[in-house]
Amino acid sequence: MLLKMEKITKRFPGVLALDNVDFDLREGEIHALVGENGAGKSTLIKILGGVHQPDGGRIILNGQEVHFSSPVDSQKAGISVIHQELNLAENLSVAHNIFLGREKGSWWNIDHKRMRKEAEEILKRLSFNLNPSAVVRELNVSEKQLVAIAKALTLNARIIVMDEPTATITEHEVERLFSIMKDLKKNGVSIIFISHRLDEIFSVADRVTVLRDGKKVASGLVEDFTKDELVRLMVGRSITDMYPKYNVPKDEVIFEVEGLEVPGFVKDVTFNVKRGEIFGVAGLVGCGKSELALGLFGAVKSYFKKMKLFDAEVKEIKNPMDALKLGIVMIPEDRKKMGLILDLDIVKNIATANSNLVAKLVNISWRKAKSLSNEAIKKFSIKASSIKQLTKNLSGGNQQKVVLAKYLFREPRLVILVEPTRGIDVGAKVEVYHLINDLANRGTGVIFISSELPEIVSLCDRVLVMHRGRQITILEGNEITQENILRAATGVEVA
């Protein structure tokens, strides 16, 4: 056994995040770690990575007990971690990030050119479409995730830990990542892999361990489990319908945009959304689908020839305030950068986005804000020690739920959801799908942007596929299949 974590216990104020958890890892295996949001997966990983110190238990690496008091210790021991909250130097380039701490050249003369070139080779080998000179701050979450993966893979570690590496990237990159993982495995590298997508677990992992409420509830070979069993172990009940769909599309067009352009990202996109319909937008990382959302919401500069929302002509949307006044709401994809104010608690995050509900003029009614927050916690089953918990201390999936909650208190007329299920567990996903159906049936226009093809295919009535900022096609009915979407997304015309 390469690594053994025994009886690991970790307490945070108000929660027991890990309760006597055992975990082990063999040489050359891929071991998946699954569980609901807040189950303790990231916490376990952070203990292995030296970010947190356990309150109890021990870590045995190669038969020797080790103590990691900082991430450096863990890295020195041959463990490389891709954390769920990416830790990149935002102001540096992709290449500099990949080689951070291991710069080429000497300390008095860093060889920038060589680093750029080697980074380019690495990215090419991984077939990640990234410019090594691009500054990380300018990248979107998916691209940042690719940088973090590239960085972790080049550390030559014996153990690579990946905390939800696939949450933000598309099918295409996921496949690349999996084939790299399998290669690494052949070379004796061990991998701990966390994901909420069970298909991925079955296609890449050898063993799986299930956590629930901080306890280990099962562990074994992947073959020995069925998907349903895993779901039941994770959430404590079976889920019969993973993709509920009961929205009723009508003919009435409630939103239309013609010739939408977001300079540098989106060109000449035209579509409409009908009452009761779930309108999907799909495409690879960097195809401009996120920018399309930002443009419609006024968060980045955008132009359009014509826009109509219900019966009213929309002249322009200059900023998010304009959009919100019209009843257009966007659930942003990057919860850390755009969704949450991490240093503030749940109540304050919700109050900031809903001042129309919690403040008449100047004064805020904290009582109202608290009751909204409690409502949100219930409705979205957010796992938090209290509504006063700082959002930075919530698990990734629970952060995502707070983002959803904070925007949906306004009764919107058009909702643009960008990767709304990113990082949330199976149970919560189903809840979000219900929510989307309900929104559509209530007469709200729904634009659903996602990189996760199964949910696009199962939920959407029509799907706009983008490639390099352009609209390739709008698929409808039977045409909506993963193959067709992928083909269009890679720029191949579909009939």
Partner 1 sequence: MKRFFEWMRRYPAFVGFIGIVVVFSLLSDRFFTISNFLNVLRQVSIQAIIAFGMTIVIISGGIDLSVGSVFAISAAVLASILKTGNIFLAILAGIAVGGAFGLFNGFVIAKGKIQPFIVTLATMAIARSFTLVYMQGMPITGFSRTFRFIGRGSIGGIPVPVLIMFGMFLLTWYILSKTKLGLYAYSIGGNEEATRLSGVNVDMYKMMIYTLSGTFSAVSAIVLTARLNSAQPIFGQNYELDAIAAVVLGGASLSGGKGTVVGTLFGALIMGIINNGLNLLNVSPFYQQAVKGAVILAAVLLERE
Ligand X SMILES: Nc1ncnc2c1ncn2[C@@H]1O[C@H](COP(=O)(O)OP(=O)(O)OP(=O)(O)O)[C@@H](O)[C@H]1O
Give 138's Cβ-side CA count (13 Å radius): 11
* Residue placing its CB nearer to ligand X in the complex, 39 or 475: 39
Cβ-based burial of 372 (10 A; exposed 0-12, middle 13-18, buried ≥19): buried
Amino acid code (one letter) for 182? K
- The stretch near partner 1 (CB under 8 A) out of 235-243, 334-342, 413-421, 476-484 is 334-342
* Residue placing its CB nearer to ligand X in the complex, 277 or 419: 419
Q: How far apart are CA 208 and CA 30, in angstroms?
A: 9
The two three-digit tokens of residue 15, written as one number: 């929660």
* Residue placing its CB nearer to partner 1 in the complex, 127 or 355: 355
Q: How far apart are CA 414 and CA 329, in angstroms?
A: 6
Instruction: Enumerate residues 6+ apart whose C-beta is below 8 A from 278.
Output: 245, 247, 249, 436, 437, 440, 446, 448, 459, 460, 461
The binding track of 75-94 with respect to Mg ion, each residue x by CB under 5 A or -, is ---------x----------
CA angle 77, 81, 84 (to 5 degrees): 155
- Among 41, 348, 383, 462, the residue binding partner 1 under the rule CB under 8 A is 348
Q: How far apart are CA 334 and CA 326, in angstroms?
A: 23
The CB-nearest residue to ligand X is 397
Query: Under the phi-then-psi rule, with left for phi > 0, alpha for psi from -120 to 50, and beta for the rest, what region is 230?
Result: alpha
337 binds partner 1 (CB under 8 A): yes
- Among 132, 288, 298, 396, the residue binding ligand X under the rule CB under 6 A is 396
362 binds partner 1 (CB under 8 A): yes
CA angle 419, 424, 331 (to 5 degrees): 35
Among residues 415, 391, 410, 411, which one has the least CA distance to residue 401?
A: 391
Cβ–Cβ < 8 Å for 97, 88:
yes
41 binds ligand X (CB under 6 A): yes
Residue 342 site contact among ligand X, Mg ion, partner 1, none (CB < 5 to 8 Å, cut-off depends on kind): partner 1
Q: How far apart are CA 352 and CA 358, in angstroms?
A: 9
Q: How many residues bind partner 1 (CB under 8 A)?
A: 28
341 binds partner 1 (CB under 8 A): yes
25 forms beta bridges with: 3
Residue 353 site contact among partner 1, Mg ion, ligand X, none (CB < 5 to 8 Å, cut-off depends on kind): partner 1
* Residue placing its CB nearer to ligand X in the complex, 37 or 97: 37
Task: Provide the 10 A C-beta neighbour count for residue 106.
Answer: 8
38 binds ligand X (CB under 6 A): yes
Q: How far apart are CA 309 and CA 298, in angstroms?
A: 15
35 binds Mg ion (CB under 5 A): no
409 binds partner 1 (CB under 8 A): no
The binding track of 291-310 with respect to partner 1, each residue x by CB under 8 A or -, is ------x-x-----------
* Residue placing its CB nearer to partner 1 in the complex, 11 or 487: 11
5 forms beta bridges with: 23, 59
* Residue placing its CB nearer to Mg ion in the complex, 42 or 80: 42
320 binds partner 1 (CB under 8 A): yes
The number of residues in the chain equals 495
Q: Phi and psi for 471 in degrees, rounded to 5?
A: -85, 125
Considering the complex, what minimum distance in angstroms separates the CB of residue 147 from ligand X? 20
40 binds ligand X (CB under 6 A): yes
Q: How far apart are CA 69 and CA 425, in angstroms?
A: 30
Residue 35 site contact among ligand X, partner 1, Mg ion, none (CB < 5 to 8 Å, cut-off depends on kind): ligand X
* Residue placing its CB nearer to partner 1 in the complex, 186 or 367: 367
310: three-class secondary structure by DSSP: coil
Residues 112-151 within binding reach of partner 1 (CB under 8 A):
none
- Among 397, 420, 445, 469, the residue binding ligand X under the rule CB under 6 A is 397
Residues that bind partner 1 (CB under 8 A): 297, 299, 319-321, 323-324, 330, 332, 337-344, 348, 351-353, 355, 359, 362-364, 366, 406
Residues that bind Mg ion (CB under 5 A): 42, 84, 396
Residues that bind ligand X (CB under 6 A): 12, 15, 17, 35, 37-43, 84, 383, 393-398, 425
